[in-house]
Structure 1
Amino acid sequence: MECLEDESCGRRLHMTFTRCCSCESLKKRLPFLQWLPRYSLQWLQLDLIAGLTVGLTVVPQALAYAEVAGLPVQFGLYSSFVGCFIYCFLGTSKDVTLGPTAIMSLLVFVYTLGDLSLAILLAFLSGCIQLAMGLLNFGFLLDFISYPVIKAFTSAAAVTIAFSQVKNLLGLQNIPRQFILQVYQTFRELPSTRPGDAILGILCIAILLALKWMKDHTSRPYRSMSICHRICYLIVWIMTTARNALVVVGAGLVAYSFHVMGSQPFILTGKTAKGLPQFQLPPFSEITPNGTRTFSEMVQVIGSGLLIIPLMGLLESVAIARAFASQNKYRINTNQELLAIGFTNILGSFLSSYPVTGSFGRTALNSQTGVCTPAGGVITGLLVLLSLGYLTPAFYFLPKAALAAVIICAVAPMFDLTICKTMWKVKKLDLIPFFVTFLLSFWEIQYGILAGAFVSIIILCYPIARPEIKVSDMDGLVLTPMSGLSFPVMEFLKDKIYEKTLTVSPPRSVTLDFTHVNVIDYTVAVGMADLLSEFKAQGVCLSFSALQPHLLRMLSSSDLLGLQNLHSLKTADPVFAQDSEDESTQPLLHNGIVSLP
């Protein structure tokens, strides 16, 4: 017998292993197996162009976003290449690029205050949480963050990030990070503006805006166009697409020229660590001036960041993936996206990365340049590695004003209040979570997100707690709930029934029409038992109509005695003569529930 059981167990294990390792399962968990067999030379050309184009954008942005996170600029590059390689194998969107973003950098600073060890540990813990959510198929949780909350958060973050760079744009010193204090102190310190930084910063913004305008208003070449025109278009396209890199390199050359002449009117990035990051464990403890900070103490310092950072990372990346999948006519797997970003943050933490997510700007650029597969990210990652290996000494001469200009122009399109006009026309109630999120985000960004999500859930749950109940009084009093009944509705339903039946003189019988009810729970069943007892004590009848079979079974299991179920409202009288000659009209009794034909 034991041998047979062992053999049966072995067969089950073999079948489970076979299902897990089947071709379809592997393709689901390793999406690159779906497109790699069909990869062509034409795809390679387009992926190469897209990868180089995105790489020329990600390098200057990574340097700038590290400044937003309060970290040395090289850590922006450390955070920019791991996702390029991981997503190529695990991602389900051809367009998405993972790396540091303005919003994620701001959140990292909020929870770490520029502490490098905390930022790297936060990447590791966020990745673990995101990976667990992906493995447990918890991607559906992202559906509970409403679009008004997302738009309000991104708009507030755009204002916060852009204003945080004004100090670098104008060369101001000793400006606090808290937004309200930052605004006050910035205006107070305006007389201390450094002319060199201000002129360079404003000039960089003007050039970036002009190049963006050229990109948006330059018509594409057509077949009959001459070679000369095609070459001119290509030059303009390269300049406008790589405008961030062009501006940063130009500003660096200007700063170096002043350095050669013996003066320096700009605040520079300064010395940057050279070479690639070491592969090492994330810091699970930290030495501080006050002694050694243990792992548990580091986690306590991060606090609610362990919830906000993973959630916002997933939300930002998945929202971008869904948007471009819809635009380019393909589908993504939300849970697989969670796995990709989770693995990226875990592995990235071993290479001194802070938390990353999908970038909207770089993803849009990737899509516009015609990327065909996630392999374009490999080219971007290699370009970042080359920058780390050979260009870090040149970062010394990058003016902070130029990096600030890059950030301001990158986040400006995120600010969008025109959605308010649409919400006013569609559903005015959605303006409440929007403005709650938007305004509270200026106090503390995490409070804005949490408060907006909480208000959205209240709005979502209100119809459940206060459903529409139609009252008709033609051939008898009938109350018709227009949706399912769950525990929040019970007291409201009791009050409604009391108001119409037991508080009048004389008390009236009532029928509850459950035509539209397909869900009840234990609280509702208990509430119905209380109602039946009270109606019985008053000598009036409470009956039900059109109870669906599964609801009837649930109430039957609750031992509700004396409950009368009318199959339809055409059954006029709940009182039945026991001596009726027609057996088909006799009430059917089952577990104390009378079912009437």
Structure 2
Amino acid sequence: MIPPKYRQLTVSRPIYSEDLFKEEYEKVQRHHKTMLDHLKAYFSCSKQKAKSVALTLLPIASWLPAYRFKEWIVQDMISGVSTGLVSVLQGLGFALLASVPAGYGLYAAFYPILIYFFFGTSKHISVGPFPVLSLMVGAVVNNLVPTSINATDVTLNERRVTVASSVTFLVGIFQLGLGILQVGFIVIYLSQTLVSGFTCAAAVNVLISQLKFILGISIDSPSGPLSNIWVLRDIFTQLHKTNIADLVTSIIIMIVVFVVKELNDRYKAKLPVPIPIEVIMTIIACGVSYACDFENIYNVDVVGTVVEGYQAPVAPDFEVLKNSVMDAFSMAIVGFAIAFSVAKVYSIKHDYVIDGNQELIAFGLSNMFCGSFKGFAASTSLSRSAVQESTGGKTQLAGLISALMSMIVILWIGFLLYPLQKSVLASLIVINLKGMLMQLREVPYLYRKDKPDCVVWIVSFIASVLLGLDIGLAVALGIELITVFEQEGVKIFRCPSPIFFANIDFFREKLTAAVGFNPLRILRKRNKALRKLKKLLKKGELQVTSRGLVLANAVVLSESEDDLNPEELDKPVNCKDFPVEINWNDDLPANIQVPRIYLHSIVLDFSSVSFLDISALKGLKLFKEFIRIDVNIYVTGCDSYIIEKLEQCSFFDNEIKSSIFFLTIHDAMLHIQETHPQTTRVYCGVMILLPVLLF
């Protein structure tokens, strides 16, 4: 096939209203299902339906039978081993962020993958500890179990592990609940700009939290707003106590790892697998520390005894659950948003579909399971996922093999990590923050291209650094919603449900709330104002000049003049016998007050409205109230069945005409631009009306 010379599509057609469309095209009759047909279809059970439900809940049942063993097994094994080595080190390091003993990070690198293997829909993400979530868990741990309390190290660590695992369990409950409720769309409220600023701020928080390990000094870990400032203050006041052995080790580790990672990126096309420099440097550092007895000679802080074997599951601490609800909800949203974003990138690259709601369920179950076995919150790490994908991983079997690497360390070789300096783990964490910190480069670009987005990024970053990740996220969301603006003049309102007796009042309330005023009240106020103006004109107290209406004398209107028959007030405003045209958005004489309205058009998207009853038709007389105050109503995407029913029920009259119906929103908007030339660039606010049944 010869490609077209110019890759451009031009559509030229008339602007169709429903009336014009009917004139040109013949309607094709179709069969409408009865209520009994719908009930039969909904409650029917078949092999296909059962299979569809099973495949949705257990995605492994769809991809495992189609697994190409001979082609993929070697690649998955190489990818799993490579990812597993990185996962072990990140688990140990991120445990420091979570303020729990390093060995418990291995549980976080093991348990979540087992559950995600069965329930997840992404083939390439590496599930496990993530620095942002680990830091958020650590903030809760430091808040509920501060280092200043009087307790032995063993008791303190046990309490911290309990808090971390309980919070993780609650995170899983929130994610599972959101998945069951099918609200995976919630991540749309976290824009790419907000997530970028938030994760960059989280990287700064991680960097600050690791300085004490890199410098080898002992300070408290405060939590809450401005905690980073107090940490930096304590670090600078104790800078003279820096452990030289830790500092030198950290500098060497960071330089070597940075250089080799750059070489990996530059020559990734020529290397079969990236050089596992983190693993190599960890082994070397562990051996040097053991041979030179750094712990006793230089008094460095080491990993110490790593928990061996698996522990029995424990129930969450309900006191912790009660005190960490908001923190856990923030973690649930952030963890899912990051994981879904990464999964979406790889699904597009490798051309397969992921299910947001199923991902919520998978991560919810993973975190509940992990929390029950003393692990901490899991999401997906960008660096691990990149390793798993770049080394040839084809399915989550690579993830399962990476979990086996964690199992080997937990069961058999964990004791070898005893002399490993915590400064080594901190250095590896800091080096892996490069990608997140480099997001600072987005600020100049956003400033040039979109200043509101730039404001969102900067506020998200500053608030998260200064106020903490939980409060910072809330502030960033607030600023993001504030920066969403719309040009006055047009509102688009979408109703994705049938309209009938149970929700017609809800529809009217939401439409009124969306436009910001009650049209009937505006109509009554205008009729009252018109009556007053006519009286003043009749008495000669109001004169018509070239500047408009001018009072001849000071006039005080009595309250009795404000009385009118309610039925008269609800009629259209009749200005035909008035000598001048009244602009209701201008100042009126005699201090007559009428609310100003800058809205001239409302577009209702009825493409998902499949049913109307008599109660709904009566409720839709709200259209007439808007038309009477010069706000045009346009209905788009309406089913022909709905239009037929409106005609049968005599819905149309001299005010509500069939010409208000258009085929698409685009047709309606083009018509609005023709009738209101000033509407050259329209920012449309889409108000979504959820299908709520008010029983």
Given that residues 69 and 108 in structure 1 are in contact (C-alpha distance below 8 angstroms), is that contact kept between their aligned partners in structure 2? yes
Q: 1:544 to 1:189 in 2, by over 3 A?
A: closer
Aligned to 1:444: 468
2:410 equivalent among 388, 394, 399: 388
Aligned to 2:481: 457
Aligned to 1:425: 448
2:488 equivalent among 468, 478, 481: 468
2:516 equivalent among 484, 490, 495: 490
1:425 is displaced (CA, Å) by: 3.5
- Partners in 1 of 2:372 and 2:518 — Cα distance? 55
Aligned to 1:102: 131
Q: 1:515 to 1:122 in 2, by over 3 A?
A: same
2:248 maps to amino acid: I
Given that residues 487 and 523 in structure 1 are in contact (C-alpha distance below 8 angstroms), is that contact kept between their aligned partners in structure 2? no
Q: 1:210 to 1:492 in 2, by over 3 A?
A: farther
1:83 equivalent among 112, 126, 143: 112
Residue 313 (structure 1) aligned with residue 361 (structure 2) = no
Q: Which digits, 9 at most, give the CA deviation of each residue in 1:240-285, with x for residues without a partner?
A: 2x22121111111111011299724532122232x2222323233x
1:211 is displaced (CA, Å) by: 1.1
Given that residues 112 and 302 in structure 1 are in contact (C-alpha distance below 8 angstroms), is that contact kept between their aligned partners in structure 2? no
- Quick check: 340-349 or 275-284, which moved more? 275-284
Please state whether the residue corresponding to 2:292 is helix, strand or coil.
helix
Aligned to 1:279: 312
Residue 353 (structure 1) aligned with residue 375 (structure 2) = yes
Aligned to 2:432: 410
- Partners in 2 of 1:12 and 1:488 — Cα distance? 36
Aligned to 2:538: none
- Partners in 1 of 2:138 and 2:296 — Cα distance? 35
1:201 is displaced (CA, Å) by: 0.7
Residue 163 (structure 1) aligned with residue 208 (structure 2) = yes
More helix by share: 1
Given that residues 162 and 412 in structure 1 are in contact (C-alpha distance below 8 angstroms), is that contact kept between their aligned partners in structure 2? no
Q: How does 1:135-154 map to 2 (within 5 A)?
A: 135-154=180-199
- Quick check: 357-366 or 12-21, which moved more? 12-21
1:176 is displaced (CA, Å) by: 3.5
1:330 equivalent among 324, 348, 352: 352
Q: 1:528 to 1:42 in 2, by over 3 A?
A: same
Aligned to 2:218: 173
1:185 equivalent among 217, 224, 234: 234
Aligned to 1:478: none
1:200 is displaced (CA, Å) by: 0.4
Aligned to 2:262: 213
1:362 is displaced (CA, Å) by: 0.3
Q: 1:512 to 1:262 in 2, by over 3 A?
A: closer
1:220 is displaced (CA, Å) by: 3.7
1:427 maps to amino acid: D
1:526 is displaced (CA, Å) by: 6.6
Aligned to 1:25: 53
Q: 1:515 to 1:81 in 2, by over 3 A?
A: same
The alignment's TM-score, normalised by the length of structure 2, stands at: 0.66
1:14 is displaced (CA, Å) by: 8.0
Q: CA RMSD in A?
A: 3.8
- Quick check: 343-352 or 516-525, which moved more? 516-525
- Partners in 2 of 1:301 and 1:203 — Cα distance? 42
Residue 564 (structure 1) aligned with residue 655 (structure 2) = yes
1:208 maps to amino acid: V
Q: 1:220 to 1:512 in 2, by over 3 A?
A: closer
- Partners in 2 of 1:368 and 1:75 — Cα distance? 28
Please state whether the residue corresponding to 2:656 is helix, strand or coil.
strand
Given that residues 92 and 102 in structure 2 are in contact (C-alpha distance below 8 angstroms), is that contact kept between their aligned partners in structure 1? yes
Q: 1:158 to 1:546 in 2, by over 3 A?
A: closer
- Partners in 1 of 2:459 and 2:284 — Cα distance? 42
1:268 maps to amino acid: V
Q: How does 1:6-25 map to 2 (within 5 A)?
A: 15-16=44-45, 18=47, 20-22=49-51, 24-25=52-53
- Partners in 2 of 1:385 and 1:78 — Cα distance? 9
Ranges in structure 1 where 5+ consecutive residues have no aligned partner? 1-7, 222-232, 285-294, 470-480, 536-541, 570-597
Residue 258 (structure 1) aligned with residue 344 (structure 2) = no
- Partners in 2 of 1:452 and 1:525 — Cα distance? 40
Given that residues 59 and 77 in structure 1 are in contact (C-alpha distance below 8 angstroms), is that contact kept between their aligned partners in structure 2? yes
Matched pairs, number? 506
1:184 is displaced (CA, Å) by: 1.7
1:423 maps to amino acid: L
- Partners in 1 of 2:602 and 2:282 — Cα distance? 63
- Partners in 2 of 1:490 and 1:158 — Cα distance? 41
- Partners in 1 of 2:620 and 2:480 — Cα distance? 25
Aligned to 2:588: none
Please state whether the residue corresponding to 2:516 is helix, strand or coil.
helix
- Partners in 1 of 2:632 and 2:268 — Cα distance? 69
The alignment's TM-score, normalised by the length of structure 1, stands at: 0.76
Q: Which digits, 9 at most, give the CA deviation of each residue in 1:294-317, with x for residues without a partner?
A: x2x322321411311111111111
Please state whether the residue corresponding to 1:268 is helix, strand or coil.
coil
Q: 1:149 to 1:82 in 2, by over 3 A?
A: same
2:313 maps to amino acid: Q
Q: 1:157 to 1:524 in 2, by over 3 A?
A: farther
- Partners in 2 of 1:133 and 1:123 — Cα distance? 15
Please state whether the residue corresponding to 1:436 is helix, strand or coil.
helix
Given that residues 205 and 406 in structure 1 are in contact (C-alpha distance below 8 angstroms), is that contact kept between their aligned partners in structure 2? yes
1:156 is displaced (CA, Å) by: 0.4
1:565 maps to amino acid: I
Residue 93 (structure 1) aligned with residue 122 (structure 2) = yes
Q: Which digits, 9 at most, give the CA deviation of each residue in 1:366-388, with x for residues without a partner?
A: 01001011101111111100100
- Partners in 2 of 1:165 and 1:96 — Cα distance? 26
2:140 equivalent among 105, 111, 116: 111
1:449 is displaced (CA, Å) by: 0.6
Given that residues 513 and 546 in structure 1 are in contact (C-alpha distance below 8 angstroms), is that contact kept between their aligned partners in structure 2? no
Given that residues 543 and 566 in structure 1 are in contact (C-alpha distance below 8 angstroms), is that contact kept between their aligned partners in structure 2? no
1:78 maps to amino acid: Y
